[in-house]
Amino acid sequence: MRSLYLRLWLTVVAALALFALVSGWLVQRHLDEQRARAEAALQDRVGAWAELLQRTLPPATAPAEVQAAALADWSRRLRVPMALDDAAGRRIAASESFQRLAEDRPDLLARVAAIPLDDGRTLSVPRPSLRRLGAPEGERGSERGGPRERGEARAFERRSERGMPGMMRAPGAGEGGWLPPSLRPPWLPEGLGLVLLLGLLFLAVAAGAWPVVRRLTRRLEALKQGVEAFGAGALHQRVAEDGRDEVAAVAASFNRAATRIEALLRSHQSLLANASHELRSPLARLKMAVAMLDDAQPAERAALRQEIATNIGELDALVEEVLLASRLDAGAALERREPVPLLALAAEEAARHDATAEGEDLTVPGDERLLRRAVRNLLENARRYGAGEVQVRVARQGAMVELTVSDHGAGVPEAYRERIFEPFFRLPGHAEREGGVGLGLALVRQIAERHGGHVRCEPRAAAEGGGSRFVLALPAA
């Protein structure tokens, strides 16, 4: 499942990654341009030095001492360490600052710029760094030598760390000028380059994240509207289950709950309507018997009292079954779940209804009171609508235990074998002859489903004597 929080997190990470990539590319481009300008400026300065020294240094035929003195003089004037080699590459002279750098800062001498002169000699000058070296003060050159030589060496080191004047700071790269000149419009002040860049990147990130966030919030709003409509009484209201994240899971859970609640309310409405209808007949008979009781002859009063007792018993049974059906419809958990010996239970109920019970001694987990009620309803149904002997059998079928109640009645037409388990449904013509309220088999189905089982009605073959067979299947212990 694609998680909602993961999608949000990935959106933020992707936005930051984009920001980092674009910023890094711009900074790298800016540094490359700065480096190229510094190299160009360095080449110009080196060329100027070469031209100046070419004109002022003694010729190659001059004594080495004269050339060394002239080299030291120009090194002090320019405050740059220098060394001079002959055409064969042999060192003619080196300034004291150059020698000191060779001892204390060999890293600077690793970047020596060789300036060829027209007479074959080569002038060596340390190339300044193109970035801040950031060396701690304790790592700089030692303080050996005279004040002038130490000052020259320290001055060159500082200029190397900062970059030579005019060489490192290119136009547009000064303080506050972070936008490369090639990207900066002529009308844009230098100090606003970075602000403009960050603003554009922020707008790009905001524009990219908006569709994702808006789609998520739109689905949440639709879910909220659906819940409110359902709470206002629109029981048919459902919400879309788009996607595979937590929002879709919540929508699916709401739809399942709404379907269950709607079914329960419809069932309770139907149960109430049917119960109200069924109450009319015994109440009407009871009312008539009470009205006739005062004027009846002594011989008739006993029959009227019996009629009143029968109607009261029917009302009591109806109320009890309606309450049980309502409680089972509510979907509450079983109050008890214990091993129930099904054959022993069936034998007890069969004895009360003049039936026979046989089979395997098997146990099922569940509520004994509810299972007893289910077996009793099946036996009462078989005794009321069947004929002849009623048989109960317990047997195992795979992972299920089946309790079968068989009768020798007229049987149930195929078209009604499912409908007889609906509340208050009775076969045409049977209500007037056999009575009953039509909740017995509906309760059997509810009890079976609450125990993880089911119930069905099957016809019996003519060789078996005809009639019907009701099979109550329950999970085995």
Residue 289 pLDDT level (bands cut at 50, 70, 90): confident
Mean pLDDT of the 463-468 span:
81
206 or 129, greater pLDDT: 206
Residues 275 and 322 in one domain: yes
Residue 412 in any domain: the answer is: yes
* Strand pairing class (468-475; 454-459): antiparallel
Residue 313 in any domain: the answer is: yes
**What local confidence, expressed as pLDDT, does residue 146 receive?**
45
Residue 205 in any domain: the answer is: no
409 φ/ψ angles, rounded to the nearest 5 degrees: -80, -160
Q: Report the Cα–Cα distance between both ends of the chain, in Å, rounded.
A: 36
Decide if 229 contacts 255 (C-beta within 8 A): no
409 or 267, greater pLDDT: 409
Decide if 342 contacts 357 (C-beta within 8 A): no
Sequence-distant (≥ 6) Cβ neighbours of residue 116 within 8 angstroms: 50, 122, 123
Query: What CATH code is carried by the domain that includes residue 319?
Result: 1.10.287
d(CA 213, CA 207): 11
Total domains, the chain: 3
Residue 453 in any domain: the answer is: yes
**Shortest CA distance to 470 belongs to which of 398, 385, 345?**
385
**What local confidence, expressed as pLDDT, does residue 340 receive?**
93
Give the range among 103-112, 133-142, 154-163 with minimum mean pLDDT: 133-142
d(CA 93, CA 72): 9
Residues 277 and 294 in one domain: yes
Decide if 314 contacts 284 (C-beta within 8 A): no
**What local confidence, expressed as pLDDT, does residue 114 receive?**
82
**What local confidence, expressed as pLDDT, does residue 375 receive?**
93
Residues 45 and 109 in one domain: yes
d(CA 44, CA 348): 117
**Shortest CA distance to 352 belongs to which of 380, 324, 374, 371?**
380
Residues 68 and 24 in one domain: yes
d(CA 2, CA 156): 62
Decide if 178 contacts 195 (C-beta within 8 A): no
Tokens coding 183 = 């990207």
Sequence-distant (≥ 6) Cβ neighbours of residue 384 within 8 angstroms: 434, 435, 436
Residues 266 and 386 in one domain: no
Structural domain of 276: 262-329
**What local confidence, expressed as pLDDT, does residue 455 receive?**
94
d(CA 51, CA 277): 121
**What local confidence, expressed as pLDDT, does residue 177 receive?**
44
Helix (H, G, I), strand (E, B) or coil at 387: coil
336 or 235, greater pLDDT: 235
163 or 244, greater pLDDT: 244
Residues 364 and 430 in one domain: yes
Tell me the per-residue pLDDT of 11-26, one tens digit each, with 9 for 90 and over: 777 777 787 778 778 8
Helix (H, G, I), strand (E, B) or coil at 341: strand
Q: Which residues make beta-bridge pairs with 395?
A: 402
Which of 135, 170, 205 lies at the terminal end of a domain, its last residue? 170
Residue 406 pLDDT level (bands cut at 50, 70, 90): very high
Calculate what percentage of the chain has a pLDDT beyond 90. 13
Tell me the per-residue pLDDT of 181-226, one tens digit each, with 9 for 90 and over: 555 555 555 546 666 776 777 777 777 777 877 777 788 888 888 8
Decide if 60 contacts 120 (C-beta within 8 A): yes
Residues 26 and 156 in one domain: yes
Residue 305 in any domain: the answer is: yes
**What local confidence, expressed as pLDDT, does residue 138 receive?**
39
Calculate what percentage of the chain has a pLDDT beyond 70. 77
Residues 80 and 106 in one domain: yes
Task: Specify the residue for token string 């320019």.
Answer: 78
Residues 324 and 380 in one domain: no
Tokens coding 1 = 């499942």
Give the range among 39-53, 96-110, 188-202 with minimum mean pLDDT: 188-202
Residue 97 predicted with pLDDT over 70: yes
Q: Which long-range contacts (CB under 8 A, 24 or more apart) does 88-94 make?
A: 89/122, 92/64, 92/67, 92/68, 92/121, 93/64, 93/67, 93/68
Sequence-distant (≥ 6) Cβ neighbours of residue 259 within 8 angstroms: 238
d(CA 31, CA 29): 5
Residues 342 and 390 in one domain: yes
Residues 438 and 309 in one domain: no
For residues 239, 235, 437 and 326, what is the CA-based torsion angle, rounded to 10 degrees? 80
Residue 163 predicted with pLDDT over 90: no
In 175-315, at which residue ranges do the beta strands (DSSP E only) sit?
none
Tell me the per-residue pLDDT of 270-288, one tens digit each, with 9 for 90 and over: 667 666 766 776 788 788 8
Range among 137-146, 239-248, 355-364 with highest mean pLDDT value: 355-364
Residue 140 predicted with pLDDT over 60: no
Which of 270, 305, 329 lies at the terminal end of a domain, its last residue? 329
Decide if 394 contacts 401 (C-beta within 8 A): yes
Which of 170, 195, 225 lies at the terminal end of a domain, its last residue? 170
**What local confidence, expressed as pLDDT, does residue 53 receive?**
80
Residues 300 and 411 in one domain: no
Residue 266 pLDDT level (bands cut at 50, 70, 90): confident
